Structure 1
Amino acid sequence: MHKILLISAALAGVSFAQFTQAVTPEQALARLFTQGPIKPEWFAPEVLKQVPLAQIQAVITGIAQQGGAFQKAVPAGQDFTLEFEKTLVTATLRLDAQGKITTLLFKAVKPRVKDLREAMKGYFTLPGKFSVVVMKNGQVLQQAGVTEPLAVGSTFKLAVLAALQEQIEAKKLGWDTVVTLEPQDISLPSGQLQDWYPGAHFTLETLAGLMVSQSDNTATDALIRILGREAIEKFLPAANQPLLTTRNLFALRDAANKSALELYLKGDVAAKREVLKQLDQIPAQKIQFSGTQGDLRAEWLLTPTEACTLMSKVQNLKITQINPGVVNPADWKQVSYKGGSEVGVLNLTTALLDQAGNTYCVSATWNHTQAIDDSNFIQLYMNVLGSLE
């Protein structure tokens, strides 16, 4: 799952004199989005020495594409709110005596939506299957889409974390317990640990942090081995038995294992466990993963409500708060996040705590038989989140 960069550009500020300027800050911001390609003469030389004009233009273009038509710049304390057709952008701008830009910082992008109901309507434009739920204090506020469980990719790792938390609370393990990376743990990316070596030592806290914040697949499979499949399966709906490791999933996506996939899809739980025993013997370096879409019946399947239930079990762990996903943590008292994706699959699940003590969970999933537009789905999700603030 890729992170959304909310800080789009940061250009170093330099001291400037307070004299009459050739343009006002509002005019300087407006022309960035209304007068065609940006011009070098709009910037102080010190700025362009640090950041190429093309890089600045790329940021401006990205903001404009996301926001639609520019409307106006409005002072907001020491900053400005840029009003676009679809978004509101917080910006910091400083000019020198000649009206040249010395500091330009885009701090946050928020969607412009009237209310939650309006924000939810956008999901119905998606091809394929989608499901989304918005919960407040444990109760459903809004939901839409199919009711069947959909493939959620790495969001299933919340169940691994819940099982780990359970064993730590039972004093069977500790966050500081040191474990050894075994050959059978090595998986394929995402993550970093697939490049490490068997025999390396990690605390369980480190493995869990990598699993959740970076969606490290090798860290995940190591934790599954340590905890045992059955200890994790009880946190998941029956459709996820037996539990796939991430390497199992990659093996089932390998065309060389087509017969194993057919046996897996046709078999009962016992038969599937036998298939996974065979797949467990295939090392990561032998798996050929082309990046094409596989059969989504061989995946981790959850409804958004089930994803929120899992998140509720672990949302107070700091591990779930390392990577806030698409949310600006400054807007909330607490943000916990996990997402998942593969070809044709995207899930985003976020738990939020506001300053008044209200808890929210927003989980949305999209499955499609073709490559999906991540940016469109993320914008729809941000629209929903924005309606809750």
Structure 2
Amino acid sequence: MNRLLVILLGVSVSLGSLPSVARQPAAPGSASAEVAVPDSPAGEQLKWLVNFLNGKGEFGEPTDRFNEAFLKQVPAERIKPLLESAKSTVFKDGAKLTQIKPDATESHLVAVLQGGDALLEVSVDTDASGKMQGLLLKPAAPAKAAFSSWKQFDEKFGSLPGSTNFAAYAVTPSSDGTFALRPVYTIHPELCLATGSTFKLYVLGTLGEQILAGKGKWDEEIKISDDLKSLPGGVMQNEPAGKAIPLSEFAAKMISISDNTATDHLIHRAGREAVEEYAAGLNSCAARTTPFLTTMEMFRIKLSPDKGLATRYASADEAGRRALLAPGGEVSKSEPDLKFAEKWTVPIEIEEIEWFSSATDLCNAMLKLHELEERPGMDELKRVLRINGGIPFDKKVWPSVAYKGGSEPGVINLTWLLERNDGAMFAVSMGWNNPKAAVDINTMVGIARGVADLLAKEPK
């Protein structure tokens, strides 16, 4: 359940590019702490930004900070709300300056800020007067792990605390128009692990099949319902009740920024039982994921002020769980403790209450979606899966990247369908669970980037 908010001045987006675990408390930083800021116009603007994000400085007038050309692109009245949003979300626990990248000049620098678990790259450009003509905040990619072989990757991935699964398959076409998976490298590929929001691939697949069968349309409108609103990540919880939005937009938000409110509306639209049936055909761990929870139900269970609710749900059989979820049941009457949610850093029943799949299952889920997207009228499905590639990929090597990931404290999963520049295609899924402690997203992403390099060299 992703909670990274990224501000691109000129465009405000809630980005699910990387799954984020619950924020770890971080000591508030300052522009002068640990890392020296250059004594330059760009450095002065960075100091102002860091101090503002840490509540140590006033925002002031936009015209004092940004030049006329910038303000023509981004109206002055938009800038403060955008940065206030970053301050109250990503940098809620403080903005810590961790790095000034080499090659900074008087008018340009790139810095890395830490907010909780999130690392953001900040690019500052100033004009001759010292005012900003460019300001960009985007995710900072963790350092790439360098692997010379799959064995070296295996040693690194296998050393992570807790449990891991991994599968990389080459996708090969069959004569009947379907596709098959050929193993490239696997580590415990059949091990069922919690996946976080990667489960949303099953919701998307259910909708894709329904649309293909004439039981829905990408442009059909769904009205926002207060009863189906969830907690962030995402933005659709901010939409007014009754607003009609195309199904395609719900799907795009669900996959690209892991919007939980979009997800719950789509589960309601498709039907819980239909999603369960679709998932059961692909997921060897389906019994552990039945009933198929909405995101808000997960929050109601795990973040309930009644700390015994999660235990009771975990110990119940399927019938008992459905009774707890039913209207008037304990789950439906529970309200998430939002103060606890802000400090949620420890795993809660991740071995019993989650959405479970093996690495092979998720590769098959991507394969099924690929088969669906090749059918007539499924261009929107193809688009939705490729809005957000999750981590940086070399577009010259990987021109097509379909992705979904997910996480919660103690859980992370990353799943891709990758097409290489020579036409080779790979389905990849990697999961890491630790019921005793939060997992390190930066370590996982660094390993994933190294895996992409190994696959780039894999024979076709």
TM-score by length of 2: 0.61
- The counterpart of 1:268, out of the listed 314, 317, 323, is 317
Q: Is the 8 A contact 1:4 1:326 kept in 2?
A: no
Q: Residues of 1 paired with 2:248 and 2:264: CA distance?
A: 14
Work out whether 1:365 is the aligned partner of 2:408: no
Q: Residues of 1 paired with 2:99 and 2:303: CA distance?
A: 39
1:176-212 deviation digits (Å, cap 9, x = unpaired): 0001111221111111112222212111000000000
Runs of 5+ unmatched residues, structure 1: 6-35, 65-72, 74-106
> Which residue of structure 1 lines up, in the alignment, with residue 13 of structure 2?
none
Matching of residues 1-389 of structure 1 within 5 Å: 1=2, 40=38, 61=99, 111-137=145-171, 138-145=181-188, 147-236=190-279, 237-277=286-326, 278=329, 281-282=332-333, 289-290=340-341, 291=344, 292-296=346-350, 297-315=352-370, 316=373, 317-328=382-393, 330=395, 331-368=397-434, 369-389=436-456
The 1:259/1:4 distance shift into structure 2, 3 A limit, reads: closer
Q: Residues of 2 paired with 1:245 and 1:366: CA distance?
A: 22
Q: Residues of 1 paired with 2:320 and 2:334: CA distance?
A: 21
Runs of 5+ unmatched residues, structure 2: 7-33, 51-95, 104-139, 172-180, 280-285, 374-381
Corresponding residue SS for 2:439 = coil
Corresponding residue SS for 1:281 = helix
Answer with 338-347 or 351-360: which moved more.
351-360
The 1:285/1:256 distance shift into structure 2, 3 A limit, reads: closer
Q: Is the 8 A contact 2:3 2:233 kept in 1?
A: no
Q: CA deviation at 1:119?
A: 2.1
Which portions of structure 1, spanning 4 or more consecutive aligned residues, are displaced by more than 6 angstroms?
Answer: 2-5, 36-39, 49-55, 285-288
Letter of the aligned partner of 1:313 in structure 2? K
Letter of the aligned partner of 1:326 in structure 2? I
The 1:200/1:288 distance shift into structure 2, 3 A limit, reads: farther
Q: Residues of 2 paired with 1:210 and 1:247: CA distance?
A: 16
Q: Which has the larger radius of gyration?
A: 1
The 1:280/1:114 distance shift into structure 2, 3 A limit, reads: same
Q: CA deviation at 1:38?
A: 7.9
Q: Residues of 2 paired with 1:276 and 1:258: CA distance?
A: 16
Q: Is the 8 A contact 2:230 2:295 kept in 1?
A: yes
Q: CA deviation at 1:219?
A: 0.5
The 1:249/1:63 distance shift into structure 2, 3 A limit, reads: farther
Letter of the aligned partner of 1:202 in structure 2? I
Answer with 242-251 or 137-146: which moved more.
137-146
Letter of the aligned partner of 1:171 in structure 2? G
Q: Is the 8 A contact 1:190 1:217 kept in 2?
A: yes
1:106-142 deviation digits (Å, cap 9, x = unpaired): x997553212332232112211111111111211211
TM-score by length of 1: 0.72
The 1:4/1:149 distance shift into structure 2, 3 A limit, reads: farther
Corresponding residue SS for 1:143 = strand
Letter of the aligned partner of 1:112 in structure 2? A
Corresponding residue SS for 2:332 = coil
Q: CA deviation at 1:360?
A: 0.6
> Which residue of structure 1 lines up, in the alignment, with residue 120 of structure 2?
none
Q: Is the 8 A contact 2:168 2:427 kept in 1?
A: yes
**The structure with more helix, counted as a fraction of residues:** 1
The 1:246/1:2 distance shift into structure 2, 3 A limit, reads: closer
> Which residue of structure 2 lines up, in the alignment, with residue 86 of structure 1?
none
Q: Residues of 2 paired with 1:306 and 1:62: CA distance?
A: 42
* Count of aligned pairs between the two proteins: 317
Answer with 332-341 or 130-139: which moved more.
130-139
Q: Is the 8 A contact 1:235 1:310 kept in 2?
A: no
Q: CA deviation at 1:383?
A: 1.1
1:58-115 deviation digits (Å, cap 9, x = unpaired): 9994879xxxxxxxx9xxxxxxxxxxxxxxxxxxxxxxxxxxxxxxxxx997553212
Q: Residues of 1 paired with 2:257 and 2:271: CA distance?
A: 22
